[in-house]
Amino acid sequence: MAMTKQSVEMQLGENLQSLESEIVDIVLDTSYPTGGSAGFAALVGEATSGTVGPEGSSTGNIVAAIDLGPTPTTPGTPPVANHLCYYHPESDKLQVFWTGAAISTALAEVTNNTNLSAFTHRFLILSRGL
**Nearest to residue 110, comparing CAs of 50, 32, 48?**
32
**Nearest to residue 126, comparing CAs of 38, 55, 52?**
52
What local confidence, expressed as pLDDT, does residue 53 receive? 45
Alpha-carbon distances of 43 from 62, 63, 75, 93, 103, rounded to whole Å: 12, 15, 25, 11, 29
**Nearest to residue 40, comparing CAs of 65, 63, 21?**
65
Domain parsing of the chain, residue ranges: 19-127
Give the list of residues 6+ apart from residue 130 with CB closer than 8 angstroms, or none: 46, 47, 61
> What is the full per-residue pLDDT of the chain (130 aa) written as tens digits?
577 666 655 555 566 777 888 899 999 999 999 999 998 888 887 655 455 444 444 455 788 899 988 886 666 666 666 788 999 888 889 999 987 655 556 788 999 999 998 888 999 988 876 5
